[in-house]
Amino acid sequence: MSLHLTPLVIVFTILATAFAALLSQMALAVFNDGVRPFLLDFYRGELARPQMTAIAFGLSAGFIFGLGVPVAFSSGVLNPWVLFLPSDILGILSPRKWIAPILGAAWGAVVVFGLSAATTAANSLPVNFLTAMQQMSTPILYLFSFFPAVAVTMQFGRLRGIITFVVSIFVMLFTMKWLPSVFPGATTMAIGVILLVAFAVAEEVTRARSERQKAQALQATEAASPGAASAEEDDPPASASALASAADDETSSIFAANAARLRRHAPYFMIMGLLLGVLVNTHMFAGGEATSYVIAKGQFANAAQIDFYRALGFIPLIVTTAVASGAFQIVGFTLIYPVAYLLPNPILAAIAGALLFGIEVFILSYIAKGIAALHTIRDASDNIRNAINLTLEVAILFGSLAAGNAMASGLGIAIVGGLYALNEVLGRPVVRMAAGPVGVIIAGIALNLLAYAHLFTPIPIK
């Protein structure tokens, strides 16, 4: 496996990382959702630049080297973890605005030229662990398809979860037998998401009806009351209500100010959308772990479907953190992925990306209000996000063990699995999702050293 990057990909990768670093330096946007809540204090000067840089690095390093780099190596497709988590750090680190894009561009150049050189070097080793890492694709593609069943179980209990899982299995079997040209994971995810949304809407309707009935019952009780309570009894609730109202007004004021700040900088986000639109449209950049492998196989419609479902889980998180912190997501609502995958050329993708990001910034406040009102839908989004993380952790672990097996059969499984278990008992110095790929890389290096020392005979990797 090697990275074959065209001049267009190289240029727009460097431009995208440069501009992303500028946005993070200005505290306008970062890719890491965990970093974003700290940016309001950083923007106000309550967090010093060295402190903010340390936070960004601590929350991002494991994903850069444990997930972003291995997925890029094994799929041959770039991803946001390897591009934009470092640009977050470099932008925040930069003391001057003009320094940030220089550092960001330098990182983009390191990625496009360094990864290509590294893959070429790895392909010449006795044990080609990059080829072995392609074994990760099958578990990720198929297990990821069942995240809706996991999300349903988390939110609606065992019965509905089991029903969703069984229906998903039958849909996958049906697709594999009668629709061989269609990726079975796509139809499986589709039916799972449909069931999840149906359950969520039904629950929301039931909740709204119940609240309406309670309100009507309370009004009837107050109307039937013989008299009002004494002033002394009324004062404490009134005071509490006034305090709560004041707190809500203050919070709303902060959120409105943050949303207004983002709208004022809409041209910056539109430029970022333009750059991302072109980069995604080249099909050498993907939005997620699963879609990296799907894009590598040339299945762009399936990749669009996967990233659209992923967006359902992340839009509420992106919106709420954006209005709370005054900082947007570098990749917007992530809808740029399914849109740009399917557009026929980079020019249309650039226009669509700019328009999409502009619209997203201007409707932030409205979506935030809608999310606050729809409790069940908001919970469903949280559960989608958690289910995606859970299924990917399992899939990446299985894929890492398969890669270990491809490199050295039982010995490879022992090294990769042993490193994963060791990481767990040591308190996860490497985040769980990244522990498997890191184990594969370490195992690959160790096996190559053993091969050069004539202590291990490499086996052909298919």
Token pair recorded at residue 21: 């670093």
Q: Which amino acid is residue 202, in one-letter code?
A: A
Residue 221's pLDDT is 79
Q: Whole-angstrom Cα distance, residue 226 to residue 46?
A: 55
Percent of the chain's residues with pLDDT above 70: 93
Least confident residue range of 243-257, 322-336, 447-461: 243-257
Give per-residue pLDDT as tens, 83-118.
999 999 999 999 999 999 999 999 999 999 988 888
Cross-strand pairs, 285: 78
- CB-CB contact of 207 with 379 (8 Å): no
Q: Is residue 174's pLDDT more than 90?
A: yes
Residue 288, φ and ψ in degrees, nearest 5: -155, 175
Mean pLDDT of the chain: 88
Residue 433's pLDDT is 86
Q: Residue 217: exposed, middle, or buried by beta-carbon count in 10 A (0-12, 13-18, 19+)?
A: exposed
The CA dihedral of 230, 236, 237, 239, to the nearest 10 degrees, is 120
Percent of the chain's residues with pLDDT above 90: 58
| Cα torsion 135, 192, 329, 392: sign | negative
Residue 109's pLDDT is 96
Give per-residue pLDDT as tens, 351-388.
999 999 999 999 998 898 888 777 777 788 889 989 99
DSSP 3-state of 454: coil
Residue 53's pLDDT is 94
Higher local confidence (pLDDT), 282 or 37:
282
Q: Whole-angstrom Cα distance, residue 371 to residue 360?
A: 15
Q: What H or E segment, with its residue span, contains residue 329?
A: strand 328-329
Work out the pLDDT band at 269, boundaries 50, 70, 90. Answer: very high
> What are the residues whose beta carbons fall under 8 Å from the beta carbon of 226, sequence distance 6 or more?
none
Q: What is the DSSP letter of 330?
A: T
Q: What is the mean pLDDT of the segment spanning 230-257?
A: 56
Give per-residue pLDDT as tens, 42-98.
988 889 999 999 999 998 988 898 789 888 888 889 999 999 999 999 999 999 999
Work out the pLDDT band at 4, boundaries 50, 70, 90. Answer: confident
Higher local confidence (pLDDT), 237 or 4:
4
Q: What is the DSSP letter of 230?
A: P
Token pair recorded at residue 11: 């240029």
Residue 250's pLDDT is 47
DSSP 3-state of 30: strand
- CB-CB contact of 337 with 78 (8 Å): no
CA angle 346, 280, 349 (to 5 degrees): 35
Q: What is the DSSP letter of 265?
A: T
